[in-house]
Copies of this chain bind each other. A is one copy, B any other.
């Protein structure tokens, strides 16, 4: 073992509880933000509930459905569905579309992105799949719910658009560092580093407008009239 980290002895239960709290905060924040999309679309109460639930727990459920190692954790462990439901109802009852409340929730949503990615990565390794799959599952856990939300609300998935803010990218970075440290035998540091890196990267990318590259057009000819397929 090349170096020894001065990690304080934190009991396992404290870590489990801490992870659960971070998870539930992330589910709640994601659910509120998803349900606010239902508000902008003038949907009814059921629209709030559906967009809240898929935004809050959709990514984890998609991961567990793909991994096929038992029913989705969000359907088994208490708290997840309740947190998502609470978020959707809060968005329906309170006036959150503008103001400091939604800014706080967006910050919490960003900060918890790394925790979701780490959870997906570690779950995939536990199930025995490869590091490459674990990376993908980290990204799906953190960003998959937003994709389902966008599909149901009929907008292009945010994470595929050339807009500022890393999303799946921050999740992939969190998964990668978590994976590296896990394989080096530091599971707790992996957890912490992934959470900090993912959350930090997401927050900074939103703050400073970082974005992924777009393909550089090489030819000088004018663009086509529009997308050929799928034009209505």
A50 to B136, CA, bound (A): 11
Tally chain A residues at the interface, Cβ within 8 Å. 70
* Nearest B residue to A165, CB-CB: B232
Q: Could you say which residues of chain B place their CB within 8 Å of the CB of A154?
A: 154-156, 229-230, 232
* Nearest B residue to A95, CB-CB: B218
Distance of A67 from chain B, by nearest CB (Å):
6
* Contact A160:B81 (CB < 8 A) given known A39-B215, A150-B230, A227-B155: no
* Contact A232:B46 (CB < 8 A) given known A70-B68, A71-B67, A133-B81: no
A198 to B50, CA, bound (A): 19
Q: Could you say which residues of chain B place their CB within 8 Å of the CB of A53?
A: 136
Q: Are A213 and B45 in contact (CB under 8 A)?
A: yes
Q: Could you say which residues of chain B place their CB within 8 Å of the CB of A219?
A: 95
Q: Could you say which residues of chain B place their CB within 8 Å of the CB of A231?
A: 155
* Nearest B residue to A147, CB-CB: B152
| A38 contacts B by Cβ under 8 Å | yes
Q: Are A44 and B230 in contact (CB under 8 A)?
A: no
Q: Are B162 and A44 in contact (CB under 8 A)?
A: yes
Residues of A150-170 at the interface with B, using a CB-CB cut-off of 8 Å, are 150-163, 167-169
| A42 contacts B by Cβ under 8 Å | yes
Q: Are B147 and A44 in contact (CB under 8 A)?
A: no
Distance of A47 from chain B, by nearest CB (Å):
3
* Contact A160:B129 (CB < 8 A) given known A72-B66, A81-B136: no
* In the A-B complex, the 6 residue pairs with the closest CB atoms: A155-B230, A47-B160, A44-B212, A44-B162, A45-B212, A75-B133
Complex A-B: 10 CB contacts under 8 Å? A38-B160, A44-B161, A45-B214, A47-B162, A50-B168, A68-B68, A95-B218, A150-B229, A154-B155, A155-B231
